[in-house]
């Protein structure tokens, strides 16, 4: 993979200029709402392990990343004043123990007034002088990093920015397409490694090599699950030895490009026709759900409709008996599908404001009985959401059905036959259009 994306830089340049114009307009509104004259955005600081001098991997403030594609630049600040070019205080320490950020380069620096500093103390003279007229966005664990700014993360400003981040600019969409393409290269390599009998750890290594990203550069810890491990929703153990009998493989893995994430899941069989047929049923159901996505759709309703479709699938696959509403009401579908249908995606894998109704911070609760749904909003054009229905054989949840009205609706013999395969999840990243979708994931696989 081309880790610098040099060829794409030219096409991103004009989109990025439009994106920065959108960011300026967005922050003009934020400052007016906040009664402030300047916005200061902190990239973040390193966090150190308890009683140790080793830091955790750096994760930048997403509000900083929304301005500049700088994923490895701690202790830096962006200052925005309406009508002026955004100012970037670029922290470049003098350090021979660690690598330091290089000179600013690429498609983005021309849009900033860049001031390179070598110590945090040098930063103060570059920030707006009227600190009482500033708001500061970012994680401030040490008051000295606020440089006297007292209004830190005002809720009104954060609510507005979080809502706005739901709708992606063309630059952001371009980055997310590239992130999808990058992740798909990893998924193809992982599928090949699985076919060659590799262990979970070796499959993970093949994935990282194909996407040319380390564990710390990935948007989240890869889920690489063989056999029963597929029934653990966030399985990240990565066994070093392959099981003696390999039956199934579930991979949930993404990639990042300029801070924007992809999030893709696929499930594979290892020659068992019954499990392969179940995967195919789930894939058809997932594509049916994607086809229903459009602007103005209440995502909560899509989640509940997914449970109805899953109920029909369970009956068709002879895993359960009864009508859809009964299987929902008795908790059968939730035992097989205990998580939400999906979430917003962008600078964060589980992007912010999934439950937020408006700038006042009003929360839209998930439907009763579905507490894990991460997105409850009405879909808007240019949101990017995941669609990830699952079907799992989780002992704890299935055993909870025993002794309840649900027990009689489960075909326990068929469930027992599928238990060794763990489960199935199929996940695509989908851009919402006025009347339909752009499926970033399927398009990347088609390439």
Neighbours of 296 (CB within 10 A): 11
Q: What is the per-residue pLDDT for 3? A: 40
Beta pairing class for 256-257 and 134-137? unpaired
Whether 2 shows a pLDDT value over 60: the answer reads no
Question: Per-residue pLDDT for 112 more than 70?
Answer: yes
Task: Tell me what the pLDDT averaged over the chain comes to.
Answer: 96
Contacts (Cβ under 8 Å, ≥6 apart) of 399: none
Q: Helix (H, G, I), strand (E, B), or coil: what is residue 105?
A: coil
Pairing of strands 113-117, 87-91: parallel
pLDDT tens digits for range 58-95: 999 999 999 999 999 999 999 999 999 999 999 999 99
Is pLDDT at 185 greater than 50 in this prediction?
yes
Fold agreement (6-165, 170-446):
no
Nearest CA to 287 out of 423, 441, 392 is that of 441
Q: Is residue 431 within 8 Å of 437, Cβ to Cβ?
A: yes
Backbone angles phi, psi at 356, to 5 degrees: -90, 130
pLDDT exceeding 90 applies to what percent of the chain? Answer: 97
Pick the CATH number of 170-446 from 2.160.10.10, 3.30.70.580, 3.90.226.10, 3.90.230.10: 3.90.230.10
The strand pair at 428-433 and 436-439 is best described as: antiparallel
Q: Convert the pLDDT of each residue in 250-271 to its tens digit.
A: 999 999 999 999 999 999 999 9
Angle ∠(373,378,382) on CA atoms, nearest 5: 105
Residue 11 binned pLDDT confidence (cut-offs 50, 70, 90): confident
d(CA 327, CA 129): 63
Band of pLDDT at residue 5, cut at 50, 70 and 90: very low
Give the pLDDT confidence of 225-250 residue by residue, as tens digits. Answer: 999 999 999 999 999 999 999 999 99
Alpha helix segments (H runs only) across 225-272: none
| Chain position carrying tokens 């063309």 | 170
Percent of the chain past pLDDT 70, that is, above it, reads 98
How far apart (Å, rounded) are the C-alpha atoms in residues 273 and 266? 17
Asked if pLDDT for residue 10 goes beyond 80, the answer is no
pLDDT, tens digit (0-9, with 9 covering 90-100), for 354-386: 999 999 999 999 999 999 999 999 999 999 999
Q: Using an 8 Å Cβ cutoff, are 356 and 333 in contact?
A: no
Among 263, 286, 112, 57, which residue's Cα sits nearest to residue 180?
263
CATH superfamily of 6-165: Creatinase/prolidase N-terminal domain (3.40.350.10)
* pLDDT at residue 137, rounded to an integer: 98
C-alpha to C-alpha distance for 286 and 337, rounded to whole angstroms: 13
Query: What is the pLDDT, as a whole number, of residue 9?
Result: 60
Question: Which of 10-24, 162-176, 186-200 is predicted with the least confidence, judged by mean pLDDT?
Answer: 10-24
The Cα–Cα gap between 17 and 209 comes to 32
d(CA 169, CA 431): 11
Give the Cα separation of 117 and 3 in Å (integer).
Answer: 27
Max Cα-Cα span within the chain: 72
CA distances from 228 to 54, 102, 231, 246 (A): 35, 45, 6, 10
Q: Residue ranges of the domains in the chain?
A: 6-165, 170-446
Which residue, chain included where needed, has tokens 């949930």?
252
- Compute the average pLDDT of residues 407-424: 98
Burial of 156 (0-12, 13-18, 19+ CB in 10 A): middle
At 118-155, the pLDDT tens digits run 999 999 999 999 999 999 999 999 999 999 999 999 99
Residue 262: closest CA among 162, 172, 145: 172
Q: What is the DSSP letter of 96?
A: S
Interval 293-350: pLDDT, tens: 999 999 999 999 999 999 999 999 999 999 999 999 999 999 999 999 999 999 999 9
């Amino acid at each position: 993979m081309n880790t610098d994306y040099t060829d794409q830089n030219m096409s991103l340049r004009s989109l990025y200029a439009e994106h920065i114009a959108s960011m300026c307009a967005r922050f003009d509104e934020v400052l007016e709402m906040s009664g402030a004259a300047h916005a200061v955005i902190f990239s973040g600081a390193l966090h150190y392990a308890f009683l140790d001098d080793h830091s955790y991997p750096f994760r930048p403030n997403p509000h900083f990343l929304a301005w500049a594609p700088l994923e490895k630049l701690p202790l830096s600040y962006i200052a925005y004043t309406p009508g002026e070019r955004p100012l970037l205080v670029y922290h470049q320490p003098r350090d021979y123990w660690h690598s330091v950020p290089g000179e600013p380069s690429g498609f983005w620096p021309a849009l900033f007034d860049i001031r390179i500093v070598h110590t945090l103390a040098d930063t103060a003279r570059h920030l707006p002088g009227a600190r009482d007229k500033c708001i500061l966005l970012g994680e401030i664990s040490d008051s000295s990093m606020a440089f006297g700014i007292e209004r830190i993360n005002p809720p009104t400003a954060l609510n507005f920015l979080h809502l706005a981040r739901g709708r992606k600019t063309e630059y952001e969409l371009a980055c997310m397409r590239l992130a999808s393409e990058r992740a798909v290269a990893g998924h193809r390599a992982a599928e090949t490694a699985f076919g060659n009998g590799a262990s979970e750890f070796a499959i993970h290594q093949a994935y990282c090599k194909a996407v040319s990203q380390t564990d710390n550069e990935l948007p989240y810890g890869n889920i690489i699950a063989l056999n029963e491990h597929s029934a653990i929703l966030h399985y990240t153990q990565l066994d070093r030895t392959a099981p003696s009998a390999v039956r199934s493989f579930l991979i949930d893995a993404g990639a990042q490009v300029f801070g924007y994430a992809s999030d893709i899941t696929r499930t594979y069989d290892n020659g068992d026709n019954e499990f392969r047929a179940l995967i195919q049923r789930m894939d058809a159901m997932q594509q049916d759900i994607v086809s229903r996505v459009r602007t103005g759709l209440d995502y909560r309703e899509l989640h509940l409709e997914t449970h109805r479709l899953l109920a029909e699938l369970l009956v068709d696959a002879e895993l359960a008996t009864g009508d859809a509403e009964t299987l929902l009401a008795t908790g059968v579908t939730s035992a097989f599908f205990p998580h939400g249908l999906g979430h917003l995606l962008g600078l964060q894998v589980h992007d912010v404001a999934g439950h937020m109704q408006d700038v006042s911070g009003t929360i839209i609760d998930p439907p009763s009985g579905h507490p894990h749904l991460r997105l409850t909003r009405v879909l808007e054009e240019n949101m990017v959401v995941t669609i990830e229905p699952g079907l799992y054989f989780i002992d704890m949840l299935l055993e909870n059905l025993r002794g309840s009205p649900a027990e009689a609706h489960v075909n326990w013999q068929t469930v027992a036959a599928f238990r060794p395969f763990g489960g199935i999840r199929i996940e695509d990243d989908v851009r919402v259009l006025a009347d339909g979708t752009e499926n970033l994931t399927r398009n990347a696989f088609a390439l």
